[in-house]
Amino acid sequence: MRTFAPSWHSSSLAVSTSILLILAFPDFNLEAIAWFALVPLLVSIAFEKGSRRKGFTLGLLSGTCFFFGTCWWLTFAPITYAGMSVLLSYGLLLVASLVAGSFFGIFASILSSVMARYSERALFLAPIVWPACEFLRYWITGNNWNAFGYTQAFVPGIVRFASFGGVYILSLLLVLWNATIAFAVVRVVRNGRNAAKEVAACVVTLILVTAVLFGFPKVMPETVKGESLLVTVVQPNVPMSGIDALTYESLRAEHVELAEASVKAFEARREPSSKEGESLIVFPESPMLFEYGSDDGLRGMFTDFTVRNNASLLFNSFEKTTKGGYFNSAVLLGPDGKKLGQYNKIFLLPFGEYVPLPDPLSSLLSGFVGSFEHGTDFAPLVMGNHRVGVMICFESHFPVLTSEYARRGADMLVEMTNDGYLGKTPILRQHLANSVLRAVETGLPVVRSTNVGITALITPQGDVVEPAAPYTSASRTWEVTPSSGGPTVYVRFGDWLAWLCLGVSLAVLFLSFRRRRD
């Protein structure tokens, strides 16, 4: 066990990195800290003299503390709505944090192995190894929540690079900066004044990286302005429980009132010469549990609503499958009240909407929200001259979905979300950060309609327009110009950078092992 135990100095540095990373993410929102947050961990790895086992322990310690500190909100729903004990909830969170944190450990172990051969110079491989480990986490666990690059989602000058290489290029740039600082620190500690040349070289490197970050030309294709679309979104702030029949009717009527009030307010300030185009109204995912296919009263109400407002309507609904189960769906109605299309959620929330275990284990457990079947069709919904790609809640975390929409001709993305089960916690802005990355990666505007927040319009450049205050009833109307420009580099080539980083990391690791044996 001693071979796995780093010194307490190194362990303290690893924990310092987790604290700094927590501060860089919502709700602390200190994004600038990300540019030096990894320095303590990198320095601690260097000081353990190339020990792979100690390196893994340092990474595991740092990663576990980080995920526990940024994803504690996962305990809110089990404790509040399922009556689970606080001890059990946080115990399960610790297990999940250990699993996610192990990829920090893999990163540190690989870096330690290479460092045994190349000393602190191997720190400059960190910007390659880190995105590779994030990519590995995504493919093994199906989740890459709070990847390092998401810290820059609300920094317009930096987030634009996501259109080139996704969240992984943001992580690479951050780690490059951190690694350069860490190299300078290690050189000074080990060589004192003799490290002047190396420190000077590091300063020059940081200056050049800064020049690239803020002087690099836009890598996103210019949006060709086409026919605009009037989009109205509703944030109804529906409570998570206690909805009886009378409350249901009242809340359903409130959806309509909020939407119509927003449209009227927009029309009142619209320029008289403005050309009227198509209109779309979006209701969010919520505990309203609409069942359009089997609720005659709902169909009649929504038909009357769309005809009266001469607008299409997109809303969340539980729709029956041919096997007798249910899809978590988005249903699109036209201005005449007739159904234009239906999207069935593809990426369901594990243990929330389905149980990711084989039978008979899956039959013994049920999803927190329900047990749904997976959708399979990536086709955008067609509305007049527009093609709309729909994301339902957790799906905004998956760039593979939005990229496929873009490749199939979508000119706009719509996200309908309900984070209400997770309370007034950092999930709201962490989830919003995912949506920002999807907009920039695809070069498409994202219209975000949420139950409790944060409802907003996100431009292809990553700007968050008119966000609604969380846990308030609100509505917004925007004149959205769908994107008809060429596909971004990320849409064309997907996770090319992540695959490249993974290949290089494996090659370097193989060479380091081979040379050790030699």
Is 224 inside any structural domain? no
Whether 164 and 290 map to the same domain: the answer is: no
Is residue 509, in this structure, part of any structural domain at all? yes
Measured between alpha carbons, how far is 282 from 420 in angstroms, rounded to an integer? 18
Q: Show Cβ contacts of residue 217 under 8 Å, excluding neighbours closer than 6 positions.
A: none
User: Residue 153: inside a domain, yes or no?
Assistant: yes
- Are 366 and 279 in a shared domain? yes
| 356 in the same domain as 428 | yes
Q: Which two tokens stand for residue 421?
A: 């089960």
* Closest alpha carbon to 167 in 149, 155, 154: 149
> Does residue 341 lie in a domain region?
yes
* Domain span holding position 319: 229-487
How far apart, in Å, do the first and last CA atoms of the chain sit? 27
Same domain, 353 and 501: no
Asked whether residue 130 falls in the same domain as residue 257, the answer is no
Per-residue pLDDT of the chain (518 residues; tens, 9 = 90+): 666 777 888 889 999 999 999 999 998 989 999 999 999 999 999 888 767 888 899 999 999 999 999 999 999 888 888 788 899 989 999 999 999 999 999 999 999 888 877 777 888 899 999 999 999 999 999 889 999 999 999 998 889 899 999 999 999 999 998 998 888 888 877 777 676 777 777 778 777 777 766 665 555 555 555 578 889 999 999 888 778 888 888 888 888 888 888 888 877 766 655 556 688 999 999 888 888 888 888 889 999 999 888 889 999 998 888 887 888 899 999 999 899 999 999 988 877 766 666 565 555 555 455 678 888 889 999 988 889 999 999 899 999 999 999 999 898 999 999 988 898 999 999 999 999 999 999 999 999 999 998 999 999 989 999 999 999 999 998 988 887 666 889 999 999 999 999 999 988 877 776 655 54
CATH code for position 340: 3.60.110.10
Total structural domains within the chain? 2
Is residue 81 domain-resident?
A: yes
Say whether both 173 and 263 belong to one domain: no
The answer to whether residues 198 and 239 belong to one domain is: no
Short-list 56, 64, 14, CA closest to 39: 14
**pLDDT score recorded for residue 36:** 94
Torsion angle of the four alpha carbons 211, 217, 218, 221, in this order, in degrees rounded to the nearest 10: -160
Residue 336, burial from CB neighbour count under 10 angstroms (0-12, 13-18, 19+): exposed
Classify 345 as helix, strand or coil: coil
Establish if 237 belongs to a structural domain: yes
Same domain, residue pair 254 and 349: yes
Whether residue 170 is found in the same domain as residue 279 = no
Give residue 467's pLDDT: 94
**What is the C-alpha separation between 456 and 469, in angstroms, rounded?**
10
Classify strands 386-392 and 412-417 as parallel, antiparallel or unpaired: parallel
Check residue 104 and give its pLDDT: 95
Are both 214 and 334 inside the same structural domain? no
Contact status, residue 180 vs residue 202, Cβ threshold 8 Å = yes
In a domain, 207, yes or no: yes
Q: Are 400 and 498 in contact (CB under 8 A)?
A: no
Asked if residue 475 is part of any domain, the answer here is yes
CA distance 394 to 495: 20
75 close to 114: Cβ distance less than 8 angstroms: no
Those residues whose C-beta lies under 8 Å from the C-beta of residue 101, and which sit 6 or more positions away, are 59, 60, 61, 62, 63, 64, 65, 66, 67
Between CA 331 and CA 320 the distance in angstroms is 12
Query: 483 and 500: one domain?
Result: no
209 and 234 inside one domain = no
Q: Is the peptide bond before 128 cis (omega within 30 degrees of 0)?
A: no
